[in-house]
């Protein structure tokens, strides 16, 4: 695992290292230029977020990714794209050791039906493949709902491209995204 220079990062920390782009996906999506990782970094920089991008081995599960990164699964935040019945979407940020509480999220959003879209629909809605989805750099800016259990933590999240993760202060992320912080999860 190597830190990768976050070119264009206007955050307050430094991101040094010698990582190279060896990921297999380009995730160009339907809008914005460059790879998903480049869109992620550009959006983080535009929002003034200090992110540490790390290149890591491919992982086949969240638990494996946590082991590679040397952190608890609870410190990895899944960025899930959720579909409304009206065809619009939202992002739900859920800790890795928890799952969406559909009744809580539906109540908060004020709808009676939400679902996880098929992989191709999620790609079209965000410009990211599953496993790389993040609100940062999404080709469409959907509303973001973050589970309250991430507050006060330094978290890891997808960075828009397979083989990369990003570390960021959760409170700064929630603020930068204008996310709603609420109880939207339950234990796995």
Give the model confidence (pLDDT) of 128-157 as tens digits: 999 999 999 999 999 999 999 999 999 999
Domain that holds residue 37: 2-187
Give the model confidence (pLDDT) of 34-88 as tens digits: 899 999 999 999 999 999 999 999 899 999 999 999 999 999 999 999 999 999 9
Please check whether residue 114 is in contact with residue 82, taking contact to mean a CB–CB distance below 8 angstroms.
Answer: yes
Residue 10 confidence (pLDDT): 34
| pLDDT at residue 4 greater than cutoff 80 | no
Residue 154 confidence (pLDDT): 98
Q: Give the pLDDT band of residue 123 (cuts 50, 70, 90).
A: very high
Average pLDDT, the chain: 87
Counted domains in the chain: 1
Instruction: Report the C-alpha gap between 12 and 107 in whole angstroms.
Output: 37
> What is the CATH number for 116?
3.90.960.10
Q: Give the pLDDT band of residue 16 (cuts 50, 70, 90).
A: very low
């Amino acid at each position: 695992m190597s830190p990768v220079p976050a070119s264009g990062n206007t955050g307050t920390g430094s991101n040094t290292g010698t990582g190279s782009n060896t990921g297999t996906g380009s995730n160009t999506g339907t809008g914005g230029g460059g790879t998903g990782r480049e869109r992620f970094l550009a959006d983080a920089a535009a929002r003034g977020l200090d992110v540490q991008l790390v290149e890591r081995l491919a992982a086949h599960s969240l638990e494996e990714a946590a082991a590679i990164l040397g952190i608890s699964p609870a410190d990895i935040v899944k960025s899930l794209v959720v579909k409304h019945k009206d065809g619009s979407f939202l992002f739900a940020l859920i800790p890795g050791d928890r799952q969406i509480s559909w009744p809580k999220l539906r109540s908060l959003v004020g709808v009676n039906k939400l679902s996880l879209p098929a992989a191709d629909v999620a790609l079209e809605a965000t410009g990211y493949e599953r496993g790389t989805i993040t609100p940062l750099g999404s080709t469409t800016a959907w509303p973001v709902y973050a589970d309250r259990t991430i507050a006060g933590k330094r978290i890891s999240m997808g960075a828009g491209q397979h083989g990369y993760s990003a570390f960021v202060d959760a409170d700064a992320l929630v603020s930068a995204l204008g996310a709603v912080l609420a109880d939207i999860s339950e234990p796995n």
